[in-house]
């Protein structure tokens, strides 16, 4: 039983804006536009194991059932009392937003921004009488909240040690948890199936976190609008077996300090996506983008999504060529010609092109100069004649040191963008570095791809020149480990990819069964079938997609016909069927053409895929499926064409680690 408090005077006076319970506790609720999802805020006193004294809490319900029980809120400062207790509500306001905006570099062209918002003004009851706002928005797809600290005499400069934000789930639940073990991380780990009770207080779990209660909704924890702040993680909440507590990435050299700032200050949004089915988390309005500021770039016409040839994955390997493959001019010109032949917008030149003090000393490389093996002016001139744009890889420390000189020079050279790598952190200074890179790159019409990166938080709405980001255990791990598996692949759409574009670097055509696979750095293999790799281009969203393998492995192979045509941005996205960790089928539309990708884990399965997403009339389906012997020969691919309508269904037999890709073109087109 909750202990009653003396009625908060401000709460009762403002009764028209909220409500007071019979015990006098201030209770305020905001509900989604479809009335299915709600967040309730309360100031209350709770018995142990909650903290003693009056605290602020929130809870979340879906379809009338609790998702999160009373979960704590608060901010903990260095050399100042925590802002989490003995507070009074001094005012509230409510608003509603329903608008639509277009994003041509997205997986949904039309993005609806529809929510109800509650703003709660709070002030300490005793000196120093600091005040702040708690703002919560409830969408049909999830809830989001943030703390807002206005400028005030008693709260100017500050150091934030931690947030006391909790996520106390109402029921025993399972999860796919990214246990990272450190705050200095590139988010390159597996999402492990665990129960919430198995997440210890000492764990450092990265976001997104996917949670599912038996017979309950699917829930994803994320954050949005991470600017000039520390990235958030979660660990177990002591005393609460189904509870999670926030953790902030510490400042470098200061393990007990997270954010150094001054008021006014907004924290990032804490986001809780909720849906009755896992695929619904992917289909719904893009809450992460909506919670970020609008585009800061006046003219975005120069920003081009698309696919890229890439020289790094194959490990200086090629067949039937007259030159020695490697980081040299003939190899890079060969890749550019391949990109031109297949109408790929980009060629990514990876590590080793810049002048460095010694081999692999990338952090100290001079990115304003090229080495003796790479005639960059000649390479860029060929790329310009072939209408291929060049991207250059670089270590983040070189960018930090030389950005002001290098970026305008790149524009002068005709370089189209940069791949910035090895940041491996989301502390406050590093978060600020990302924004500096994106802003400065936009000034010189450069697109950006971050590797060695933390998860996206929606920055691409403000700076859409940031086309993609790694922050995932991607295909590069097949060069050295067994960790990149089909099982891992069919978890990613419901975890990492929920946060935003994911540069997994697909396109391996040296496909291997589970028994055949061996890690190797030159001419590497990948686990799963050829069709599984093709399906990734639909299932995994990234406006910049690599064709990771070497040119000759693609040429004159049937799977290349799919890669030639598949887009990287979309008008509409739907999930046909899904079970995280087992299988997923996603369809995406571009213009009048639909593309389908279906993948399974190591379990073979037969799927009947309804085609009700198709419009009126007949469509020609071009289907790229596992060959009849794909269980023994993972490269085996069968291609067929058939006429279908919206009332048809597509039968798919997926081999172990298998997949299916398809293109549906209107018959009249």
d(CA 227, CA 429): 10
**In-domain check, residue 542:** no
Calculate the CA dihedral of residues 280, 285, 286, 287 and round it to 10 degrees: -100
CATH number for 58: 2.70.98.10
Per-residue pLDDT reduced to its tens digit, 265-315: 999 999 999 999 999 999 987 999 999 999 999 999 999 999 999 999 999
**In-domain check, residue 447:** no
**In-domain check, residue 222:** yes
Instruction: Tell me what pLDDT residue 5 has.
Output: 28
**In-domain check, residue 548:** no
**In-domain check, residue 108:** yes
**In-domain check, residue 217:** yes
Q: Please, are residues 210 and 584 in contact by the beta-carbon 8 Å criterion?
A: no
Per-residue pLDDT reduced to its tens digit, 598-627: 999 999 999 999 999 998 999 999 999 999
Give the residue numbers spanning the domain of 96. Answer: 9-290
Number of domains forming the structure of the chain = 1
Q: Please, are residues 163 and 75 in contact by the beta-carbon 8 Å criterion?
A: yes
Region 177-202 average pLDDT: 97
Q: In DSSP terms, which residues pair with 394 in a beta bridge?
A: 420
**In-domain check, residue 502:** no
Per-residue pLDDT reduced to its tens digit, 49-97: 555 557 999 999 999 999 999 999 999 999 999 999 999 999 999 999 9
d(CA 209, CA 57): 21
Report pTM: 0.94
**In-domain check, residue 248:** yes
d(CA 664, CA 662): 7
Per-residue pLDDT reduced to its tens digit, 115-144: 999 999 999 999 999 999 999 999 999 999
Q: In DSSP terms, which residues pair with 75 in a beta bridge?
A: 83, 163
């Amino acid at each position: 039983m909750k202990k009653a408090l003396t009625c908060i005077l401000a709460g009762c006076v403002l009764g028209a804006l909220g409500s007071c319970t019979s015990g006098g506790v201030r209770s305020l609720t905001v509900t989604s536009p479809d009335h299915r999802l709600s967040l309730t805020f309360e100031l209350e006193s709770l018995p142990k194991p909650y903290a003693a004294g009056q605290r602020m809490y929130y809870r979340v319900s879906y379809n009338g059932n609790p998702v999160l029980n009373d979960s704590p809120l608060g901010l903990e400062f260095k050399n100042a009392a925590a802002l989490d207790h003995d507070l009074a509500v001094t005012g509230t306001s409510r608003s509603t937003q329903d608008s639509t905006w277009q994003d041509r570099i997205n997986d949904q062209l039309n993005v609806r921004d529809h929510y109800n918002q509650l703003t709660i003004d709070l002030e300490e009851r005793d000196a120093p009488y600091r005040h702040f706002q708690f703002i919560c928005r409830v969408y049909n797809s999830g809830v989001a909240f943030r703390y807002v600290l206005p400028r005030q005499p008693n709260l100017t400069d500050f150091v934030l040690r931690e947030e006391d934000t909790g996520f106390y789930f109402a029921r025993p639940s399972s999860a796919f948890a990214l246990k990272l073990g450190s705050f200095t991380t590139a988010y390159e780990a597996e999402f492990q199936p665990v129960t919430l009770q198995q997440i210890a207080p000492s764990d450092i779990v990265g976001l997104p976190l996917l949670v599912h209660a038996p017979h309950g909704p699917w829930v994803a924890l994320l954050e949005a609008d991470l600017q000039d702040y520390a990235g958030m993680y979660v660990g177990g909440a002591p005393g609460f077996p189904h509870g999670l507590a926030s953790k902030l990435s510490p400042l470098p050299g200061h393990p007990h300090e997270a954010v150094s700032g001054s008021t006014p200050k907004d924290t990032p949004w804490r986001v809780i996506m909720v849906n009755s089915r896992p695929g619904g988390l992917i289909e719904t309005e893009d809450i992460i983008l909506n919670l970020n500021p609008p585009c800061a770039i006046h003219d975005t016409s120069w920003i081009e999504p698309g696919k890229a040839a890439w020289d790094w994955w194959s490990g200086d390997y090629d067949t039937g060529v007259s030159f020695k493959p490697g980081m040299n001019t003939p190899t890079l010109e060969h890749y550019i010609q391949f990109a031109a032949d297949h109408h790929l917008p980009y060629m990514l030149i990876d590590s080793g092109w810049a002048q460095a003090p010694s081999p692999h000393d990338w952090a100290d490389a001079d990115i304003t100069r090229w080495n003796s093996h790479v005639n960059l002016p000649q390479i860029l001139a060929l790329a310009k004649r072939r209408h291929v744009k060049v991207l250059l890889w670089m270590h983040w420390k070189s960018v930090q040191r030389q950005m002001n000189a290098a970026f305008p020079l790149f524009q002068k050279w005709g370089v189209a963008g940069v791949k910035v790598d090895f940041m491996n952190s989301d502390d406050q200074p590093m978060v600020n570095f990302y924004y500096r890179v994106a802003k400065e790159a936009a000034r010189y019409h450069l697109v950006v791809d971050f590797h060695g990166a933390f998860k996206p938080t929606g920055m691409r709405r403000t700076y859409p020149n940031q086309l993609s980001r790694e922050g995932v255990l991607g295909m590069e791990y097949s060069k050295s480990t067994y960790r990149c598996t089909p099982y891992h692949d069919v978890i990613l759409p419901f975890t990492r990819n929920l946060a935003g574009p994911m540069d997994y670097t697909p396109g391996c055509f040296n496909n291997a069964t589970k028994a055949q696979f061996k890690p190797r750095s030159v001419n590497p293999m990948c686990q799963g079938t050829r069709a599984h790799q093709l399906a990734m281009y639909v299932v995994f969203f990234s406006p910049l997609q690599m064709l990771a393998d070497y040119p000759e492995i693609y040429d004159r192979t049937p799977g290349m016909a799919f890669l030639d045509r598949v887009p990287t941005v979309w008008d509409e996205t739907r999930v046909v069927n899904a079970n995280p960790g087992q299988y997923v089928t996603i369809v995406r539309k571009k213009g009048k053409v639909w593309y389908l990708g279906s993948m399974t884990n190591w379990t073979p399965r037969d799927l009947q895929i309804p085609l009700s997403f198709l419009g009126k009339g007949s469509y020609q389906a071009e289907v790229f499926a596992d060959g009849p012997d794909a269980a023994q020969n993972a490269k085996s691919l069968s291609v067929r064409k058939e006429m279908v309508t919206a009332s048809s269904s597509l039968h798919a037999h997926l081999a172990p680690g298998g997949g299916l890709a398809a293109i549906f073109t209107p018959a009249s087109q």
